[in-house]
Structure 1
Amino acid sequence: MITTLQITPLEHSSGIGARVTLPSYTSDPSKLNEKDFTTLSEALHRHLVVVIPGQKNLQPSSQYHLTARFDPSVTIDGATSANYGHGKEFRHEKSVLKKDGKSVPHQPQVQILGQGSFENHEGLESVDLTHPVHSSFHKDVLSEERVAAGETRFYRWHIDSALYGLSPPLCTTLLGIHVPKHTTKQRILYEDTGEELEVVQGATAFASGATAFKLLSSEDQKLALGTTVIYAPHPYIFISPASATSDGLTMVSEDKECSMEELPPWEESKVKKLPLVWTNLVTGEHHLQAHGCCVWKLQRDDGTVLELLAAREELHRLMRPAISPSKIYTHAWEEGDLAIFFNRGVWHSVTGQFSEGERRLMHQCNIASGSDPSCLKI
């Protein structure tokens, strides 16, 4: 009988990931006692992604309460708890996120993601889901022949955040409820180096912001520590007419973005200006954390400002080494996996595509923090 929470680090070259075994007193991770939850929270900060298997029947209310518990600034019954996901940005007709999910009616902080049609799920008579695929977002897409041969792409490397008005969530929980049982393999080709990475179909890829920072030269580390990332107003609408680079790290600059006049009304005070480097309060490590697709400008401590094109090129230069094959962890989903990832310490990306008739059902929850990571800048 296991009486306390057990953490087993994954043996992976990226250093990312751990498997969690729940204690015998509960099968619901939201009901962990304070000691075991503290162990879980510290493991999240150290391993960046922790996976609890066997959670297929976890209720949306439990997933919400567990997610909120990691961040003391989130109040369950207060106004902060309503600040989930991407709010109105998620549903806006021009947003690049508009097809990415639906809300659970009785627990709207939990989003329903996946592929295919499902009936009578969580109060919804029917729900049609679309797995994000690179062909809908990248400038240059793989040919049908290459896709048929098993090639795929990183869809979009990102941190989960509205990046306008609301502060980035501390963590995200992602639950695999219905997962295809086959283990089809797909390949990601790194076009700049010729390297290849084999992934299980639909795997979620994770890159460590701490690794990204360590891979920088001492000069670039100093530069990064003195850099602020300024995100575009309504960033997911701003970038919607544009297309991404083939590695999913940022956008191709072709002057296709929405103009400021074309955006919904916005306020300067809600534009997010976040440090490029955040500090892990458990490990003390620096993490290079940015959403390269949504960047608008970079501002240096000396007042220098890199505008859109230059800002994208600079972030791509700094971030690219951390997504090399040996540096990333790709989670091959099994039914019932509950993955919890430290949204202030890793970036992640959807991968793969599904064939006609294949279905996948997932629940995702992240809650905007009541604190701003600018306080984590050193």
Structure 2
Amino acid sequence: MKLFESTARLILRFKSVFKTQLVTQPIQTVCFFSNTALGDTIFNTPVFRVFRQNFPHVRTVALLNPSTASLFKTDPNIDEILLYDGKKGGFLCALFALKKIKPDIVFILHSNEPEATPLAVLSGAKCVFKLPNAGSKFSPFHSNEPEPYGDERYVVLNRLEQLKFVGIESRDTRLNLYLRDEDFARVDEMLKKDGKRKFIGFQMGASTVSRQWFWQRWRELAELILAHTDAVIVLTGSPAERAMTAQLDEELRSAHVIDAAGKFSLREAAALIARLDVLVTPDTGPLHVAAALKTPTIGLFAVASPVNSNPDFDENIHKFIKKPRTCSPCVGKNCKFQECMLQIGADEVWEMLKEMI
């Protein structure tokens, strides 16, 4: 990694971008870098939409991660998708693809260094914008002046702020996903919804252990739901999360539990979330999928902050429970035993859930 970074910075010394806080020249093509996790790309959907509303005739290209790109292929605010997994091995292929589209501007919305800035600059873009970039070794190669993080707020506002460099001021944070009828076919066949029962989703997994609720708590909540309602519990998640969902399904042994984790494509998994009456979830990608599809949610937070991650729109249907961190110093994503999440009891979630179903 250090060799790649050193080489990239050496090459960039012979390249330059236009320094400006406001682009006034005509724009033909822009590229948005958003090739990290699922949730972070969903956070950028308002940027795509707001830019298109203000520049309807400018070609918009998104550089996305291959693992999640399919979910955004029907976004009407994106004209073309390029793929890059963020690894050094795919750097040159991504660079050649970028050079073909000849972007006037690259917005680095969420893409990891040391690849992101070199990729943007070497693409030939006239302007490269990134926020925040204060203290970054790559800030000299950005068109904008170095800026630090501001006050804590919904992360989408930070993404939208980059549009100020093309004269757009917006606080329209609503997330969007655009599904098709075919995405729902297998989901509807599994659920067989008749309008009489509620379908409650459990998203047990999270991107890091530090954000996960404890398995026993999920079981306690499931037992409360099964004892007091005729609702169906739907276990959502990726193939990697099948171990925990399968264990819960096996122990509950109820016809009112459906283990759907890992059984659908990414677009179908989003359609499944769209069909739920409520999703209980830690701070992870499916929370933001649900928000984009207007599915009510109960977010579980301790190490993560709901100010940053819980939707700041439709607040009447996007509830959350937040507990304080229990360890000092908090090691955040490196935590392997998330004691702070133990503070969230099944009874507390159940009381909130009853009001929503």
Larger radius of gyration: 2
What TM-score do the two structures reach when normalised by structure 1?
Answer: 0.23
The higher-RCO structure (CA 8 Å, 6+ apart) is 1
Q: Which has the higher strand share?
A: 1
Q: Which has the higher helix share?
A: 2
What TM-score do the two structures reach when normalised by structure 2?
Answer: 0.24
